[in-house]
Structure 1
Amino acid sequence: MNHARSTKKRTGGRRRTVRKKRKHELGSAPTETQVGEQQLKVVETHGGNEKVRAVETDVASVATDDGVERATIEDVVENASNPNYVRRNIITKGAVIDTGAGRARVTSRPGQDGQVNAVRLEG
């Protein structure tokens, strides 16, 4: 998200950029979490806080009718955000993964939270 001045005027006209982005306005490359042995990365954020990013992971907390089950991730089956992510085994929010507890849809953001939470799909 860019917290700098808007590029549009009230009238709808364009406003020309006055300066380059400041350090705090810069974004970062996305952490594309892959299926593999668990590997986490700690990143410093605003206000001296920290974010734990999952670079690789092989475990998921799968919510079932009985409760939450810790299951191993075997494969990425479907990913609506990018079809190439299926081939590259990249897990993002909304991806369908094959686990020991059956197929599940990811509800967390592993590149932001550092963990994979998922809901088991029926069938």
Structure 2
Amino acid sequence: MSHHKLKSGIFAQNRYAFVSDATSKDESKGVANADHDSEATPLFEPKGKAKIGYHAHEYEFVSKQQFEEFSAMMDVRLRIVIEELEGEWCACMELAAEVERFRGDAAVKLFDKPPLISR
């Protein structure tokens, strides 16, 4: 699969986003003028076989500002998910410690009882 290198803004198609620094004037030009300094970043897995021979006009233009806003929003969402998972992990660890304490208490109580002697 060939990688298209784009000069300005961010362009996405199937599983790649192309990002580079650009001014608003550059961004208004769209996909004109490709260069070889940008890198493709995977966005998501394609649903079928990848098509071969994509052309620049098939890419959707996303402004740098839109990309940065989306990135910041996703960062906040990711932090919220991580905080929730950490909270659940702590609760599980506390529960496991409490179960171990009960097991220890039960074992001590069983062995502390005097043996029953029947005559």
Q: TM-score, normalised by structure 1?
A: 0.18
Q: Give 1 or 2: higher strand fraction.
A: 1
Q: TM-score, normalised by structure 2?
A: 0.18
Q: Give 1 or 2: higher helix fraction.
A: 2
**Structure number with bigger Rg:** 2
